[in-house]
Structure 1
């Protein structure tokens, strides 16, 4: 069977999108396909793949497979890409509803150019600080903030936050690429996190600006992580390190975060989405 795909990215966090509505996608081994096509040397190259499925509750349902074939509950950059795809190709409205494994989320197209979406704001839902929400082994309902974890031969002070997927945040001087490449996988696979966890180094520039670097669960070093930016921004506000709204610089560019600061208030994430190219391939085991 021949499949069409589209490659889009949000600040360099790139995904391959497949429209599986009305098709027998059960014949495809999606984890295997993700590992094959996301390989940047022997495949197309991406941080993951996203299938666009039908939903009786939303404009579409997004299912995310990381580059290693594992499933992810949500991806902020991937969600903006899907909102752009739906707006550009199917004349979906500026305000959309997308079903994810983390629940219903609400992107809104803010800016367009030549009829194509360029800037998108996403209602990411509420942040959860309870340790158990981020998958901490034996974690409870209390926040896990500025606690020490052993990493190799050193110790780091970490915070946990969930945006429907788990995030570990380290505030302090920004880790360089080599340090993140070493500590990222150590923390991702730490025995305290049986389901693994996304890892972020966060530097507070001032009360309106953060700088970040990411190690994503199942993908490794990435140019941007939308849910990570939302989680880090909300955590920084919770710790009174910043005043909302804020800008967050990542290797791929800049995102904007806003959060009113109480338990059920949603975190809003604003940033670009761009299409790179489309293609076709024949699926065969």
Structure 2
């Protein structure tokens, strides 16, 4: 029996990159090991997350399933939501789409710029049990957590926020002054985070301008993380470090974040890019490019 090949799109939002499958007509399930092999940047396609676009049980435009590079399934990914929002809008000829995710229903709309998309990420979780934490903290703007010597910690007292996934934000004077690749895994799996956490270093360098570096849960260092950008903006506003509208500067580029006062929703705006089309042999996991970028979702439809 001949092995099956399936087409995909390679996309990114500010360098936070994804392999996108269209599984609305033909379901697709890959093992955790297969996802990790495809996600490997040396031997596979290489990506931060794998996105599977499926039919929504809620009757909205699509359901978005998200797997990290290590094969673990997660509920939220802001930059992927912007990318999938762009594809669905192009496909349907609409300027607003609704996407079902494990973190709830999200809405993406055209930001009136070339490949720029805004996503309503909903209301952030600020209580300790929403994030979640392993123990109760009355104030999540700065919890008791540190790494390093007690009398001279490397990092300490992070703010914590949920954007459908857990985030810890450490305010520092220089995001490059720390070896996040070393301390990130330790903090990600700290016992205070029963579901793990995304770890961000953040520095307010000008009015409403925040520089951020992110260790993403299940991924590692990343050029951009949309939910982390949202979490940092919310944490900054809660602690009067910035206003409700700020620009988050990630290694891959800027994201505009607004924590809307009228309803508490977080809006995220930034660029998206289609890098190329490709196809994968699902038995051998061999893959190849089949086309250039700037295409619509039909190019990734199941064969």
TM-score using structure 2 length: 0.87
Match of 2:229 in 1: 229
Match of 1:254 in 2: 254
Contact kept, 8 Å, 2:100 with 2:106, in 1: the verdict is: yes
Contact kept, 8 Å, 2:27 with 2:54, in 1: the verdict is: no
| Distance in structure 2 (CA, Å) of the matches to 1:168 and 1:12 | 22
Kindly state the Cα deviation for residue 92 of structure 1 after the two structures are TM-superposed. 4.3
- Deviations along 1:163-215, one digit per CA (max 9) or x if unpaired, are 11110011121332751111211110101112100000010112311110000
Match of 1:273 in 2: 272
- Unpaired segments of 5 or more residues in structure 2? 285-303
- For the aligned residue pairs, the C-alpha RMSD in angstroms reads 1.7
Contact kept, 8 Å, 1:9 with 1:81, in 2: the verdict is: yes
In the alignment, does 2:179 pair up with 1:146? no
SS at match of 2:185: helix
- Unpaired segments of 5 or more residues in structure 1? none
| Distance in structure 2 (CA, Å) of the matches to 1:180 and 1:129 | 24
- Deviations along 1:28-75, one digit per CA (max 9) or x if unpaired, are 32x223201110000011101000000132100101000011111111
Match of 1:40 in 2: 41
Give 1 or 2: higher strand fraction.
1
Larger radius of gyration: 2
Kindly state the Cα deviation for residue 112 of structure 1 after the two structures are TM-superposed. 5.3
Match of 1:121 in 2: 118
Match of 1:182 in 2: 182
TM-score using structure 1 length: 0.92
Consecutive aligned runs of 4 or more in structure 1 exceeding 4 Å deviation: none
Q: How many residues align?
A: 276
Match of 1:130 in 2: 127
Contact kept, 8 Å, 1:7 with 1:277, in 2: the verdict is: yes
Contact kept, 8 Å, 1:34 with 1:48, in 2: the verdict is: no
Kindly state the Cα deviation for residue 87 of structure 1 after the two structures are TM-superposed. 2.5
SS at match of 1:170: strand
Match of 2:96 in 1: 95
